[in-house]
Structures are given as C-alpha cells and as structure tokens.
Structure 1
C-alpha cells in the first residue's frame, strides 16, 4: 500500500511538472489561440444575424494576424488584412462581439464581399495566420 501511494505521489508530481512546462512553453510562444468563426454560415442580408464571418482569437503578444478568404477554385476573394489587438465592431454590426474565452474580444471579420460586391452563395475557404501558425476552414454563404 505504501509503494502504491508513493507511486501515485510521484505520478502526480510528474504530471504537475509536465503541465508547468507546457504552460511555460505556451507563455514563451506568445500564446496565440484561434477560436474559429462564430458561425460558419453567413447570411449577409443586413438583418443583423450572421451578416459577417467573425474570426475570434486570443492574441496576448499583440502579434500580426492576417486572414484570407478563397473560392473553392483557389481564387483569392478577400484579404482580411493584418489585425492585432482589439478590433472595432463590424461596420453596421449590432454592437459588441461575444467571442469565447472570457476576455476582451479580438477578431477579424469578412462581410461576404469581394472588391466591394456581394459574393455568390456557396462554400468559401478561409485561412488565418499568426505567429507562424495557420488555421483553415470553410464558410457557407447563403443569399
């Protein structure tokens, strides 16, 4: 029984050491964390619901963040531009953006347009990059 308790204590100490090292590595890497889009479906019809694709992230090092949206054929549709820090609400948006994480929301957004004109309904690809990391996914535009 004593040996079992000692082994459990050693295992707990090792787990704490590993967790501590992981936390230190995260802190040293800048800790950028991408939460993804609030919704993968855009319905840009100015009703205030899913008019924008809002990409939420935690950026404690205030690193440069850039994003791009592509068609399924690989053509560049929109550049979200380098953004860092807390962005303002989307133009004409309904106000505050509620990103996950319990901190001030940091985000980039896409309004469903290419060169100022509304894109067609369909599937689009996004890529967000920061701190040498790349996050990819799909969006559905429904008109």
Structure 2
C-alpha cells in the first residue's frame, strides 16, 4: 500500500487524505519560506558585520597614522626642548659672567690698576669676547 486512497475506500478517508496532503504541502511551503527569510537575515547580518569590520580597520589605520605623527612630533619637540635648555644654560653662564664683570669696582676695571686685577680683567674680557663669538645653537646663520 502506497498511502493513496483507492476508489473502493471510504470517501471520508479520501477527504482526510487530501486535507492532510494539503497541510503537508502548506507546511513545506511555510518551512521553505521561513528558511529563505532566515538565509536573507543571515546574509544581511553578515554584510552588516563586514561593514563594521571594514569601518574598524579604517579607523584603526587612521589611529595608527595619527599615533606615528604624534610620536614624531613628540620626538621633534623633545629635541627642540633639549636644544633650548642648552641655550638657556649657556646664556645664564654668559649673564653671570657679565654680572661679575659689572660688579667689579670701577677702579679695578682699568688696565692701569695696580696688582693682578688688570690681568684678571683682561682674562674676563677675553672670555667675554670668546663667548660673544660663539654662535648660539638656534641663531640664524
């Protein structure tokens, strides 16, 4: 027996078989439609996730580029800071030396003063001249 009603069977069974068959066909169609919608949703979710991943890659690259630029800028600024500190130190030394010369009594600044003051003054003047001849690290050449 193949499950199909024969002509000699009860017509109610035949009607029940047809209804059951229709239900099975309808259920299969609904299942196919549900599966199709599921595949569409899954594909859409996959596209959305791919777009998010692409956006994150782009953002990551931009952040890496910005980090590299910032690191280079920090390095440049640290070098400039070191050079400026060195220049300030040099200028402070010159300033102290000039103050020391200016604080000497007026009579000991002349080369005709008796004693060793004239020789010291010549040494100081020589040092000041030497310092004045040195170009500063940031002066335009």
Same fold (TM over 0.5): no
Q: What TM-score results when the alignment is normalised by the length of structure 2?
A: 0.26
Q: What TM-score results when the alignment is normalised by the length of structure 1?
A: 0.26
Task: Work out which structure has the larger RCO, using CA pairs closer than 8 Å and 6 or more positions apart in sequence.
Answer: 1
Q: Would you tell me which structure has more helix in proportion to its own residues? A: 2
Q: Would you tell me which structure has more strand in proportion to its own residues? A: 1
